[in-house]
Amino acid sequence: MHKSRYASVKPFTTKDGSIIRELMHPGVHGNANQSLAEAIVPVGQGTKLHKHHRSEEIYHVTAGEGRMVRGNEIFAINPGDTICILPGTPHRVDNTGATELKILCCCSPPYSHDDTELLDR
């Protein structure tokens, strides 16, 4: 298939609490080595602190304002920012703005609930 339409991709909630649309994923679209999703974090909310054991993630912020925790770092994120999250790195995002925080998330290997570990911190 190797093609998707945004309007036909049904959103779901991941283990970390973000609302996700899998725009391209091997389990659905036939690609092999990565996944691409849009994550939406509603106003005043955030994801749970978590890490991925195998997946490297790249986040690209497309709308809204937020704060990211990545390992020992805490920093603001805004449209146009791109962030790499290495495997095993604890991370989370909080929406600090007045509109939805939207992030494109690329994962390699592809996103999997089984590769996501929620953390207590």
Domain assignment present for 11: no
Domain assignment present for 47: yes
Domain assignment present for 65: yes
**CATH value at residue 58:** 2.60.120.10
The structural domain count of the chain equals 1
Domain assignment present for 90: yes
- Cα–Cα distance, 78 to 86 (Å, whole number): 20
Domain interval for residue 37: 16-118
pLDDT in tens, 14-56: 888 889 999 998 888 888 899 999 999 999 999 999 999 999 9
Name the pTM for this structure: 0.91
Domain assignment present for 61: yes
Domain assignment present for 4: no
Domain assignment present for 87: yes
Task: Say yes or no to pLDDT of 12 above 70.
Answer: yes
CA dist 56 to 1, 22, 93, Å?
Answer: 24, 16, 16
Q: Higher pLDDT residue, 117 or 27?
A: 117
What pLDDT score was predicted for residue 52?
95
